[in-house]
Structure 1
Amino acid sequence: MPLSDLFLRHAVYKGTPSGDKYPDLYGMYLLVTRTGKYWRMNYRHAGKQKTLALGIYPHVSLAQARRKAEDARKALAEGIDPNGVKRAQKAEQRSAALNTFDKLARQWLLTMQRNGSASTQKKVRNWLEGDVIPYLGKMPLNTIRPRDVLRVVQRVEARGAIDSAHRIKQLCGQVLRFGVAMDLVERDVTADLKGALAPVPRTHYPALTEPGDVAPLLRAIHGYHGHVTAVAALKLAPMLFVRPGELRAAEWSEIHLDAAEWRIPAKKMKMQLEHLVPLPTQAVAILRALQPVTGEGRYVFPCLRGGQRCMSENTINAALRSLGYAKEVMTGHGFRAMARTILDEVLQERVDLIEHQLAHSVIDPNGRAYNRTAHLPARRAMMQRWADYLDALRDDVAPPPA
């Protein structure tokens, strides 16, 4: 007999492992399980037995479920799989929900939150919300043309922010490629903008690269009396010469003091490849001294205002300013240029080892990128020689250039 509303309201689960089934019209039935009451319809299509989900009672009433079942029978009579119709309807609804650049960009931002630092996410969000969405946000995705994106980035370029203009073009491309992957847009139109913007001028971070200039800096760092975490970070910056963002975001889970290694995850690296930093004995000593202070938390160098975040990006540069080194003379990023120059020109270390340790892409004779552990023993020895040289330079006992 057909089901009734009275029966539906009082039906309860009787403990059948696969659920209790109560048939109705058009091959439809009510499936009662421990978790709820579900409308289902069994049918055959292309020689295969299939099941169509029609909704959940009472959100879908008996009358509504019967109409859905009748529509499914009509589709079957025309040789159409009703499950295929359902998938197409869902895809159409999803496409409509994300049909503008604004909605797609915000969905992309949600997926991006799983990777990258909080500061990078904030910067990306500000670019999109300040420079892109006000102009492209309401446009349906497939109406966006290269000239539309070009107008956006030219506005940024016109105010002198050439580097930001290039970054914003890249962000637009990432959002549109996300849309391509979701079958919401046909192509990434930013590919047609190659060469349309002025090139980014090459700039170099201010850095001291002459040993005679570096020695007083090292002595100043050695005598710095700031917060213990800032002191440790400032001493490690020239010794390890990683990027400032990598240093301040270091986590204790990445540091292996007994092995004298720091393994930086790929998601934190500019090249998106895990980077291994051999720790010289001096670095291990600094970290062991710091461990009782911050070792119970996540970050090696937590924010001074609260340990839930890592150290501010301004801490190292502020310390250098307090030591009398202006931003035009030395920056936290400048320690990389210092190491690159002196290791090569003064200590005459192998350039490929230096490039590995700078986390730059290094190609082997067969044209393949070396992996993160390439030449590790030689890099360990180089890092120890570098730390010893810095100590000797600071103490004014470094040997003269070869």
Structure 2
Amino acid sequence: MPLTDAKIRALKPKAKPYKVSDYDSLFILVTAKGSKLWKFKYRFNKKENRLSFGKFPYVTLKQARQLRDDARSLLEQGIDPSQERKKDQNEAKAQSEHSFANIAAKYRDKLVKEGKSAETLKKKDWFIKMANADFGNQPIHEISAQTILTTLRKREEKGHYETVGRLRSTIGAIFRYAIASGIAENDPTYALKDATIKPTVKHRAAITDKPTLKRYLKALEVYHGKPETCIALKLLMLFASRPGEIRKAKWHEFDIENKVWSLDAERMKMRRPHHVPLCQEALNLLLELKEITGWSEWLFPSQSNSKKPISDSTLNQALRRIGFGPEIVVAHGFRATFSTFANESGLWNPDAIEAYCARQDRNVVRGIYNRSLYWEERVKIADW
């Protein structure tokens, strides 16, 4: 007699597993622990095989019979249902492994191995998270340009034009990684190059005229904030460094005897070691600072957490307090200030000035050569 729901529910476990047949080779296996498992017995190429359909009541009697009929249909077509299931499972596994999110994670691992900075990885994580929220689970080769454009439009509608550009760039890099890995065949972001609004390029505000510089230096001399913040602003000018390099500086990086500040490659935006000559003014400031923060590993430890450096907003906030708004100058702008006055002086080789500011040379080999070639001139620039 065929099974019914009532009969199945009434089945009780025994000391050993036992079978109860439905019809047409479908049966239920009752285990010693009481589980009721659907099984289908069939022959293919003269060999007996079994196919599992799951557990009752999660797979109902009606569903089990339909699965049995589907398997019978495959057998009529000369297809082994067990092999067909494995094929489906492998395809599903491949789709999962080749999802955008998984490829993005592998791309990020590549960036880590390449020694990208923590700040760069943090930005990439932000963009990857945006993309994953919309299509992370989709197989990467099935994602269309229109799907990506929908994601970009969300940010564009909020006026985040720069974010849109960087998000598209990150998604494109992940697709190119997938192409190189043999997982995708094209980069759909290429077709979107001119599809979104391009942001207006805004250069960082910087002091590039002598009257404003003079006014700034006078304001700095009467600064009433923390002395270490004032010192940081002065070193920012002398070193022509990026604000992040200054605020994350550690005492062990400074060789006072040889008058040099050495930064490892991972600390630099261009991923190359950089050395800054220390003029007497810088040495005096460092000795003064040592009396204030010499107890910390950081030159400029955070007030709220001494295990961390000051935040990236500290220097800009100090500039605002002395009356210099973001339209006049930002902390990052002092590199342009240094470069402007050094070039206008006509005293120095422009390449030496670029090396002083740790700007990337288009010719990598020439860039490495410059670091030694211009050192003596950079020392003189620092004194100047």
- TM-score, with normalisation over the residues of structure 2? 0.66
1:125 paired residue number:
125
Give 3-state SS (helix, strand or coil) of 1:263's partner.
Answer: strand
Identical aligned residues as a percent: 28
1:189: how far off?
4.2
For 1:207-266, what per-residue CA distance to the aligned partner results, in whole angstroms no more than 9, with x for missing partners? 221112211211222332322431221111111121112211222333222222222222
Letter in 1 for 2:328: V
In structure 1, C-alpha distance between the alignment counterparts of 2:308 and 2:117, rounded to whole Å: 10
1:112: how far off?
5.0
Give 3-state SS (helix, strand or coil) of 1:236's partner.
Answer: helix
Q: Is the 8 A contact 1:239 1:283 kept in 2?
A: yes
1:280 paired residue number:
279
In structure 2, C-alpha distance between the alignment counterparts of 1:272 and 1:92, rounded to whole Å: 41
In structure 2, C-alpha distance between the alignment counterparts of 1:373 and 1:236, rounded to whole Å: 23
1:211 paired residue number:
210
For 1:3-48, what per-residue CA distance to the aligned partner results, in whole angstroms no more than 9, with x for missing partners? xxxxxxxxxxxxxxxxxxxxxxxxxxxxxxxxxxxxxxxxxxxxxx
| Change in CA separation of 1:355 and 1:254 when aligned onto 2, cut-off 3 Å | same
In structure 2, runs of 5+ residues without a counterpart are 1-89
Kindly indicate whether residue 203 of structure 2 is the aligned counterpart of residue 165 of structure 1. Answer: no
For 1:83-104, what per-residue CA distance to the aligned partner results, in whole angstroms no more than 9, with x for missing partners? xxxxxxxx99985653322233
In structure 1, C-alpha distance between the alignment counterparts of 2:250 and 2:93, rounded to whole Å: 39
1:25 paired residue number:
none
**What does residue range 162-201 of structure 1 map to in structure 2 within 5 Å?**
162-180=161-179, 184-186=183-185, 188-201=187-200
Kindly indicate whether residue 251 of structure 2 is the aligned counterpart of residue 243 of structure 1. Answer: no
Letter in 1 for 2:375: L
In structure 2, C-alpha distance between the alignment counterparts of 1:150 and 1:374, rounded to whole Å: 48
1:281: how far off?
1.5
Letter in 2 for 1:231: C
Letter in 2 for 1:268: R
**What does residue range 22-33 of structure 1 map to in structure 2 within 5 Å?**
none
Letter in 1 for 2:126: N
Give 3-state SS (helix, strand or coil) of 2:201's partner.
Answer: coil
1:230 paired residue number:
229
- TM-score, with normalisation over the residues of structure 1? 0.64
1:162: how far off?
1.9
After superposing the two structures, state which structure 1 stretch, 268-277 or 133-142, moved more. Answer: 268-277
1:348: how far off?
4.2
**What does residue range 1-400 of structure 1 map to in structure 2 within 5 Å?**
98-106=97-105, 108-109=107-108, 112=111, 115=115, 118-129=118-129, 131-180=130-179, 184-186=183-185, 188-346=187-345, 348-362=347-361, 368-371=366-369, 372-385=371-384
| Change in CA separation of 1:307 and 1:154 when aligned onto 2, cut-off 3 Å | same
Structure 1 vs Structure 2 CA RMSD: 3.1
Q: Is the 8 A contact 1:276 1:373 kept in 2?
A: no
In structure 1, C-alpha distance between the alignment counterparts of 2:91 and 2:358, rounded to whole Å: 45
Q: Is the 8 A contact 1:281 1:384 kept in 2?
A: yes
In structure 1, C-alpha distance between the alignment counterparts of 2:231 and 2:197, rounded to whole Å: 41
Letter in 1 for 2:175: L
In structure 2, C-alpha distance between the alignment counterparts of 1:266 and 1:124, rounded to whole Å: 19
Give 3-state SS (helix, strand or coil) of 2:128's partner.
Answer: helix
Letter in 2 for 1:128: I
1:198: how far off?
4.1
| Change in CA separation of 1:260 and 1:106 when aligned onto 2, cut-off 3 Å | same
Letter in 2 for 1:382: I
Q: Is the 8 A contact 1:116 1:268 kept in 2?
A: no
1:119: how far off?
4.9
Give 3-state SS (helix, strand or coil) of 1:104's partner.
Answer: helix
For 1:156-182, what per-residue CA distance to the aligned partner results, in whole angstroms no more than 9, with x for missing partners? 233322221111122213333444566
Letter in 2 for 1:379: R
In structure 1, C-alpha distance between the alignment counterparts of 2:119 and 2:161, rounded to whole Å: 20
Letter in 2 for 1:138: N
Give 3-state SS (helix, strand or coil) of 2:233's partner.
Answer: helix
